[in-house]
Every structure is written in C-alpha cells, then in structure tokens.
C-alpha cells in the first residue's frame, strides 16, 4: 500500500542540529503503543498480583531506534502504519515531539501491546495486539535515495524489496530480523550492511548461509564479531538490569549512529553495548531511551564485565559455518 506523507514540524534549534549533522536516516517498520505494567514477580494462574507501576509509550523496533538517533542529532523520517484513533494521534504527537517526520499509511486502529515487566530480574512478557495492518508496498523514492542509512524491521517484506531496488549503492542498511529463520529473515540478514543477530538464532543461521561478517549479540555476555573466520569479543557492561524491553532496538540505533560517524565496526559495537546497557538500567521502552547527556555521564563510570557467560571457544568452533 502506498503512503500519504504527514510531516510534523520541529523547533528551529532542532532543525539546526539536523542541518549541521547532515545525517539522514529513514526508518521503515511497525509502530505500536505499549501499555506497560511492572510487577514484582508473576502471579500464579488464577491468582492476582498488584502492579508496581503503569505507563504508556511508543513501541516498535524502528521507532525506538529513531528516537535515539534523533536525540543524537540525526534527521529521521519514519514510514509506518498508524490508526486514525486516539492511540494513533498520541503516537504521532510523541514522535513529532522527538523531531521525527512521519510518512503514514492510515488504518482504522493502532496496534496496542500489553507489556509485563518483572522487577525482580528485568524480564518481560509481551501480549501482542490482534489488530491487522496491510503491508506497505511502496516507499517514496525521494526518501529512499536521500537516506544515508535505512533501518528496517521484519514486518514489511514487500517494502524491503522495493527499497533494495531503488536505494543508492552507498546507502547503508541495518535490519531487525525475526528469531524465526524464515525466507524473509534470511533476506533481511543477507542484505544488511551490518548483519546483527541474537545468539539464540546464530547456530541455526550459520548452518543455512555464509557471511563474511556477522555481529552476534549475547545479552550479558556482550557482542561477538565474526569476520573472515576470526572472532572478536566486546564485553557487556556491569549493570543492575531493571528492564530489557527495547534493548535490541536501542542497540541497533546506537550502532547506526556510530556507523554514520564513520567509526570502525569494533568501535560501533562498543558504543552500541554501552548505550543498550544504559537503557536497561531504567524501566520502560521509549520512556527509558537515553539522552546524549546521560550517555556521556554513564560512559565516565561504566565498567565492562570481566567474565563471559557464552563460551568464545564454542563460537569459534561454529565460525567455519559462517
């Protein structure tokens, strides 16, 4: 489905930052409204548990990454589907307040997810919306060709193929693939400039495709870079985890920022680890996204872990598949 463009104006100061930085990021993917509830341990089936806190915020892999990038100075445009309901209006207002321009495909309702976060260990359970949106088919070609970097999630496979056809050769792509190794997932990974996958899918992925470079995220074990059968490990940071919701989205957003700064891939990984760790020290998704000032302060005292939870030897042993 083609999109109608709705551009939200941002303040003059923010625009000046965008013009100075000249970093154009196009994001394409699903946007939801997260209704988050924090609880002190899950209740047994049939029982009741009192909520510790409740809040509502924007969710979705691409919007979360773009909010971070916008705060760091990038000019961001999001192509997505939103409802004409109150929830959709709230999401649009929030993104506009973050300096993000929108190209919106209209739907009747906005997707609303319920997110349960366990304060004891930071784990979360998501109850996904039943709302169905038509897939995006075409993206304005001007947006594609003006982008220095494009961030995609797993929800718009038709639009992804359209972008691959029309993007400039130098445009970088970062994707958020599914943990299920479908054909769509493999297309996203193999066409990403920097393939980033969670450790949970690495072994199965390594048996299916061959890549010269692969970035494997491993939670509190940090990140592994497999490149030409060589392994590089970047440790995680020592933190007290309060919430892991959106950690992967923030990781990709921070990685994208580092890429736009023309940093080397190892430095990109280190920065992404740092920012994602900071995000996990707060409860929430969009509400927990770090500001540049918070990142700067965290970097002054942050300490990396000295031990790995995942065996590097095991990864090296699997590397010949990649």
pLDDT at position 310 is: 55
pTM assigned to the model: 0.86
Residue 45: predicted pLDDT: 85
Distance in Å from the first CA to the final CA of the chain: 36
pLDDT of residue 225: 94
In which domain, by residue range, is 201 found? 4-321
- Average pLDDT for the chain: 87
Q: How confident is the model at residue 167 (pLDDT cuts 50, 70, 90)?
A: very high
**pLDDT tier, 308 (very low <50, low <70, confident <90, very high otherwise):** low
* Total structural domains within the chain: 1
Q: Which long-range contacts (CB under 8 A, 24 or more apart) does 306-314 make?
A: 306/235, 308/221, 308/222, 308/233, 308/235, 309/218, 309/219, 309/220, 309/221, 310/199, 310/218, 310/221, 310/224, 312/224, 312/231, 312/233
Please state whether beta strands 32-39 and 51-59 pair in parallel, antiparallel, or not at all (unpaired): antiparallel
Task: Kindly report, residue by residue over 138-147, the tens digit of the pLDDT.
Answer: 899 999 999 9
Identify which of 206, 236, 232 has the alpha carbon closest to the alpha carbon of residue 221.
Answer: 236
User: Would you state the pLDDT for residue 316?
Assistant: 47
**CA separation for the pair 110, 84 (Å, rounded):** 7
Residue 8: what pLDDT? 30
- Which whole number is the average pLDDT over 182-205? 90
3 — pLDDT class (breaks 50, 70, 90):
very low
204-241 pLDDT per residue, tens: 887 788 788 899 999 989 999 998 878 899 999 999 99
pLDDT tens digits, 23-37: 899 999 999 999 988
Quick check: 1 pLDDT over 80? Answer: no
Higher pLDDT, 132 or 203: 132
Q: How sure is the predictor about 309, in pLDDT bands with cuts at 50, 70 and 90?
A: low
Residue 14 has pLDDT above 50, yes or no: no
Query: Mean per-residue pLDDT for 73-87?
Result: 96
Q: Looking at residue 7, what is its pLDDT?
A: 35
pLDDT (0 to 100) of residue 317: 52
Average the pLDDT over 289-316 and give the result: 80
CATH of the domain at 39: 3.40.1190.20
- Judge whether residue 267 has pLDDT over 60: yes
Which residue did the predictor score with more confidence, 203 or 167?
A: 167
Pick from 127, 116, 122, 119: which is nearest to 41 by CA? 119
- The pLDDT of residue 15: 38
The pLDDT value given to residue 146: 96
- pLDDT of amino acid 314: 56
**What pLDDT is recorded for position 285?**
86
Percent over 90 (pLDDT), the chain:
62
pLDDT for residue 4 is more than 80 = no
Question: What are the tens digits of pLDDT across the range 35-77?
Answer: 988 888 888 888 888 888 888 899 999 999 999 999 999 999 9
Residue 215 in tokens: 């970035």
From 18-27, 79-88, 158-167, the region with the lowest mean pLDDT: 18-27
181-189 long-range contacts, CB within 8 A, separation 24+ = 181/205, 181/208, 184/154, 184/157, 185/154, 187/157, 187/160, 187/161, 188/152, 188/154, 188/160
Q: Give the mean pLDDT of 186-199.
A: 93
């Amino acid at each position: 489905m083609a999109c109608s463009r709705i551009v939200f104006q941002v303040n003059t100061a923010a625009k000046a930052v965008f013009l100075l930085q000249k970093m154009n990021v196009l994001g394409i993917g699903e946007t939801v409204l997260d209704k988050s509830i924090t609880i002190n341990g899950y209740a047994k089936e049939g029982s009741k548990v009192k909520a510790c806190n409740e809040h509502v915020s924007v969710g979705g892999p691409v919007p979360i990454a773009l909010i971070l990038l916008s705060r760091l100075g990038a000019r961001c445009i999001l192509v997505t589907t939103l409802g004409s309901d109150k929830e959709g209006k709230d999401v649009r207002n929030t993104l506009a307040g973050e300096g993000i321009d929108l190209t919106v495909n209209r739907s009747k309702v906005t997707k609303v997810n319920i997110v349960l976060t366990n304060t004891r260990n930071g784990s979360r359970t998501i109850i996904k919306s039943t709302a169905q949106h038509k897939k995006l088919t075409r993206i304005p070609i001007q947006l594609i060709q003006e982008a220095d970097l494009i961030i995609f999630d797993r929800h718009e496979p038709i639009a992804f193929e359209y972008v691959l056809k029309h993007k400039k050769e130098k445009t970088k792509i970062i994707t958020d693939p599914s943990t299920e190794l479908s054909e769509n997932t493999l297309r996203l990974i193999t066409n990403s400039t920097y393939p980033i996958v969670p450790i949970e899918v690495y072994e199965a992925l390594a048996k299916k495709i061959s890549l010269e470079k692969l970035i494997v995220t491993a939670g509190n074990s940090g990140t592994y870079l497999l490149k030409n059968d060589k392994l590089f490990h970047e440790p995680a940071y020592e933190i007290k985890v309060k919430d892991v919701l959106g950690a992967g989205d923030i990781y990709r957003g921070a990685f994208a920022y580092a890429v736009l700064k023309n940093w080397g891939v190892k430095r990109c990984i280190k920065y992404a680890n740092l920012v994602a760790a900071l995000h996990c020290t707060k409860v929430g998704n969009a509400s927990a996204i770090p500001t540049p000032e918070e990142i700067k302060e965290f970097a002054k005292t942050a300490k990396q872990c000295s031990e790995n939870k995942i065996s590097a030897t095991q990864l090296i042993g699997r590397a010949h598949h990649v």
